[in-house]
Structure 1
Amino acid sequence: MSRQRSVTIVCSPRQRVGKTLLARALTEFILADGRAAIAFDVNPNNAALYGFLPRYTARVDINTTRGQMALFDELIAEDEVAKVIDLGDELFDKFFTLLQQIGLTEEAQRRGIDVVALFIGDPDPRSAKSYAQTYGALPFLKLVPVHNEFIGNMQDYMNDFPSAVPGERPVRFPVLSPFLKSIVERPGFSFDDYMDYRAGTRTELHEWIERAFVEFRELELRLLLRELRSALAPR
């Protein structure tokens, strides 16, 4: 994802695969890096991301034309704000159909805005089918597979979610133990604040946050390499 201008869609057509936690950690990573960010909670029945990051999150209803227009106008605004979308599974098909219909990825490309989809894989065959369909329908979308270690062994199913670039590994999102989950789900908890407040100590949660943030940093570098290869390719 571009450091300055990006739209990152955290998605899966399946429930309970870690979308909100991933979107939340990514938003905090961008903010901790000193960049401006806004998250969009596109979950009609459970605005969990908004509950965790109310200062940086807007709730969006894409079941209305007004909500669709407001969101898509924000996504292609020519500003220096990174956007993160927590996309509810029940709106997966509708959201990507709308993107295709209005040509948002093409318009974003024209404006120099990266549109990245972090697709969390899982063993259900319907997920792999949706992954392939999304890749085929939106050629300007940078589709990136994510292995959430909470779901299971990567070798058991992640071959069904190939990267668009041969040899490029998926994002590996570390498993969060039940104890650590109980901490991060407390009202007002911030990953960045925890790192600052507990700077003199070393805990399991420090290691989890650092590992997640390193994954995001390495993802940015891999996507930058994609851009460089594309720019240097013979035309």
Structure 2
Amino acid sequence: MSRRTLVFFVCSPHSRTGVTTAARLLTDYYLSRGVPVEGFDTDSREPNYALLFPKVARVVDIGDVKGQISLFDRLLVADDAPKIVDVWSRSYDQLFATIAEIGFLEEARRAGVEPIILFQADSSQTAASNARLLNTTWPNLWLTVIHNEGAAPLRAEAHDILARYPARGKLVIPKLESAIAAALDDAELSLSTFLHAPPPHISIVVRAALKAWLLPIFTQFQSFELRMNLQSSEFLR
């Protein structure tokens, strides 16, 4: 089996759709399995993702050349360590314009790197249009949609809205009750260690609810990773 280094762009053209939550969960998924991971936060104003992972994530400003070099040169390193980019909504247009300008996707595949878009769905037409534009521009680019039921609820129209997205698969982040979700605001809470060593100061009720929420999400990531590995198999081509 020929493995390729996975590079995830967790993104949305809109704010408050759950981008940082998804990037956090994916990072913690890999860390919980002892897999080295490298993260990048493109929000230079409020780098919440980088604050959650000070040892593995860095802030990059892709509005200048130094930031672009810092980001894209690292993403082209095929070292088997997954790379996760938390794409700030204000960096969305700049990111994909730069990707097109420098020919990043073509260079990535030559280098043994597999770029993946984790696109956060919302109820707007413009979000789905942006996803379709990415698919039209790069038809071979792997795009999976994420529905964060808490950050961007789609309610009864979820099936019809998600059908607008040209995605290979769907990941769902269930909604948490507000009292439980508040625990996630603690930057010191490591979800990668939570399952086997929950902090004793957290209520037993909150611990149980977080575990019941977290396990199915990690299972989805595991299934997604398996699918990617199978796609890379020389025997399945």
- State the shift of 1:11 in Å: 0.4
Q: Runs (4+) of structure 1 moved beyond 6 Å? A: 199-202
Tell me which residue corresponds to 2:78: 78
Matches within 5 A, 1:85-234: 85-150=85-150, 151-153=153-155, 154-164=158-168, 169-198=169-198, 203-228=208-233, 232-233=236-237
Distance, in Å, in 1 between the alignment partners of 2:130 and 2:23 is 20
Distance, in Å, in 2 between the alignment partners of 1:231 and 1:220 is 17
Paired residue type of 2:161: Y
Taking structure 1 as the reference length, the TM-score comes to: 0.89
Paired residue type of 1:80: D
Matches within 5 A, 1:8-19: 8-19=8-19
Give the SS at the match of 1:116: strand
Tell whether the 8 Å contact from 2:3 to 2:232 is kept in structure 1 after alignment: no
**How many residues of Structure 1 are paired with residues of Structure 2 in the alignment?**
227
Distance, in Å, in 2 between the alignment partners of 1:187 and 1:68 is 27
Tell whether the 8 Å contact from 1:148 to 1:175 is kept in structure 2 after alignment: yes
Distance, in Å, in 2 between the alignment partners of 1:231 and 1:128 is 34
**CA distances 1:21-75 after superposition (whole Å, capped 9, x unpaired):** 1101100111111211011001132211111111111000001111101110000
Distance, in Å, in 2 between the alignment partners of 1:110 and 1:187 is 37
Q: Which sections of structure 1, spanning at least 5 residues, go unmatched?
A: none
Give the SS at the match of 2:195: helix
Tell whether the 8 Å contact from 2:4 to 2:232 is kept in structure 1 after alignment: no
- State the shift of 1:232 in Å: 4.0
Tell me which residue corresponds to 1:28: 28
Give the SS at the match of 1:143: strand
Distance, in Å, in 1 between the alignment partners of 2:236 and 2:82 is 26
Paired residue type of 1:205: L
Give the SS at the match of 2:196: helix
Tell whether the 8 Å contact from 2:77 to 2:113 is kept in structure 1 after alignment: no
Tell whether the 8 Å contact from 2:12 to 2:121 is kept in structure 1 after alignment: yes
Tell me which residue corresponds to 1:65: 65
**CA distances 1:172-213 after superposition (whole Å, capped 9, x unpaired):** 122232122211111311112221223997701001111110
Paired residue type of 2:154: G
Tell whether the 8 Å contact from 2:143 to 2:166 is kept in structure 1 after alignment: no
Tell me which residue corresponds to 1:47: 47
Taking structure 2 as the reference length, the TM-score comes to: 0.88
Distance, in Å, in 1 between the alignment partners of 2:175 and 2:195 is 18
How much is the aligned-residue C-alpha RMSD, in angstroms? Answer: 2.2
